[in-house]
């Protein structure tokens, strides 16, 4: 049942197009294939450039997350130093039927299964998704080859492979999966990323959907460091990182409360954990959050959430006549004056936006102050 205080659902036709097919896919700086050996563990069975020219130590643990042996297909985004990586994973059971394929050779050292992770290293995350179909095909191919040929993979380095097309459809597909998995939780997550918090998402394998969440949320505030998939070996990085978003398959991270502001369990239901009393209010899913999903959420409207907010506050801050954020101002960016007031308060404090005041529902002005975090009681 609608309420007079509900935020009207507005069109986003004037939004800036932030993701387009302009430009080209990122330049591939390295390619690799990782597999699992029961004696040696995760190993890099192939890489180019060779180890002497580019050290990929540690990549073998980033591209086969824990639990990969239980699923047939996945993908993972990760960081390698200051570079970005993408790998696609394929797994299959080894059979006793001799059909001439690699999977028909029973190798007891592999515990009855074969797993490959095929990936790339680039200097940019932009359009890296365009490589997913190619890498998925290669990973499945290597599972079935008795004599492996890496020529097509090598071709990515020398542009011998036909140019990978940049299709916006893959963004739409991945974004739809993001919305379906997280539902109205995308709005508390967007508030956290706009506040520049340390956000750690946890999920069992497959980790690909959670990596997608990191990607789309990072676009909202690119000052937040996108760490993507992390393991326990990244603990020191997290301790020293003032603002980040990442994901993991290791639930032990939840116990290490000094390395995150909010820990989000993404298995089955989305559950937020934080010890910060202000964030405990900001992470609550409000009625307005649920209402916003009644209108189709497009990728473009989502990634412009931060732009609309910053433009509004910048205009109010510079205004010579009206620096009050009114109910209509809240509605103009699809926010609710009562539910989102504490979030706006924190946003203005953290980003040092001067002069702006907020009117409460009774039209009484109060100044935005770093020492005032108390929302009006409902």
Q: Are 29 and 177 in contact (CB under 8 A)?
A: no
Residue 9 has pLDDT above 70, yes or no: no
pTM: 0.88
Residue 87 is encoded by which pair of tokens?
């790998």
Average pLDDT of span 217-240: 95
Residue 322 has pLDDT above 90, yes or no: no
Residue 13 has pLDDT above 70, yes or no: no
Average pLDDT of span 163-180: 83
Whole-number pLDDT of residue 368: 47
Q: Are 154 and 229 in contact (CB under 8 A)?
A: no
Share of the chain above pLDDT 70, in %: 82
Whole-number pLDDT of residue 328: 94
Domain 170-270: top CATH class: alpha beta
**Between 23 and 45, residue with greater pLDDT:** 45
pLDDT tens digits, residue range 179-207? Answer: 999 999 999 999 999 999 999 999 999 99
Tell me which residue of 330, 326, 312 sits closest to 363, measured CA to CA. 326
Q: Are 91 and 73 in contact (CB under 8 A)?
A: yes
Residue 1 has pLDDT above 50, yes or no: no
Residue 271 has pLDDT above 60, yes or no: yes
Rounded-to-integer distance, Cα 43 and Cα 34, Å: 6
**Between 212 and 16, residue with greater pLDDT:** 212
Residue 172 is encoded by which pair of tokens?
């739409």
Average pLDDT of span 249-264: 97
Whole-number pLDDT of residue 193: 98
Whole-number pLDDT of residue 375: 44
Q: Are 112 and 93 in contact (CB under 8 A)?
A: yes
pLDDT tens digits, residue range 115-147? Answer: 999 999 999 998 899 899 999 999 999 988 777
**Between 5 and 99, residue with greater pLDDT:** 5
Q: What is the DSSP letter of 252?
A: G
Q: How confident is the model at residue 333 (pLDDT cuts 50, 70, 90)?
A: very high
| Strand locations in the chain (E) | 28-37, 41-48, 73-80, 83-93, 113-122, 198-202, 225-229, 244-248, 262-265, 271-273, 324-325, 357-359, 365-367
Residue 363 has pLDDT above 70, yes or no: no
The mean pLDDT of the chain is 86
């Amino acid at each position: 049942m609608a309420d007079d205080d509900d935020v009207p659902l507005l069109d986003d036709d004037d939004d800036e197009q932030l993701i387009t097919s302009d430009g080209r896919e990122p330049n591939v700086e390295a390619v690799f294939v990782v597999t699992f050996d029961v004696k040696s563990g995760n190993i890099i069975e192939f890489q180019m450039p060779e180890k002497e020219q580019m050290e990929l130590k540690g990549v073998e643990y980033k591209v086969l997350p824990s639990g990969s042996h239980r699923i047939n297909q996945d993908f993972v985004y990760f960081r390698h130093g200051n570079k970005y990586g993408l790998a696609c994973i394929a797994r299959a059971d080894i059979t006793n039927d001799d059909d001439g394929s690699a999977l028909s050779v029973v190798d007891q050292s592999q515990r009855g299964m074969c797993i490959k992770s095929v990936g790339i290293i680039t200097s940019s995350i932009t359009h890296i998704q365009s490589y997913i179909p190619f890498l998925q095909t290669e990973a499945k191919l290597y599972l079935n080859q008795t004599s492996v040929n890496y020529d097509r993979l090598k071709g990515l380095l020398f542009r011998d492979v036909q140019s990978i097309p940049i299709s916006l459809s893959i963004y739409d597909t991945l974004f739809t999966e993001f919305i379906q998995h997280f539902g109205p939780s995308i709005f508390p997550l967007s508030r956290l990323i706009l506040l520049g918090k340390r956000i750690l998402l946890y999920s069992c394998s497959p980790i690909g959907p959670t990596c997608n969440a990191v990607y789309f949320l990072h676009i909202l505030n690119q000052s937040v460091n996108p760490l993507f998939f992390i393991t326990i070996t990244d603990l020191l990085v997290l301790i020293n990182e003032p603002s980040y978003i990442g994901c993991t398959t290791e639930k032990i991270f939840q116990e290490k409360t000094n390395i995150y502001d909010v820990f989000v369990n993404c298995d089955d239901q989305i559950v937020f954990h934080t010890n910060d009393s202000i964030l405990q209010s900001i992470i609550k899913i409000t009625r307005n959050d649920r209402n916003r999903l009644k209108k189709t959420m497009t990728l473009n409207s989502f990634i412009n959430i931060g732009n609309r907010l910053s433009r509004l506050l910048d205009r109010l801050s510079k205004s010579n006549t009206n620096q009050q954020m009114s109910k209509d101002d809240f509605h103009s960016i699809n926010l609710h004056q009562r539910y989102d007031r504490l979030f706006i308060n924190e946003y203005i404090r953290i980003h040092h936006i001067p002069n702006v005041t907020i009117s409460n529902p009774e039209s009484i002005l109060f100044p935005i102050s770093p020492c005032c975090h108390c929302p009006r009681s409902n």
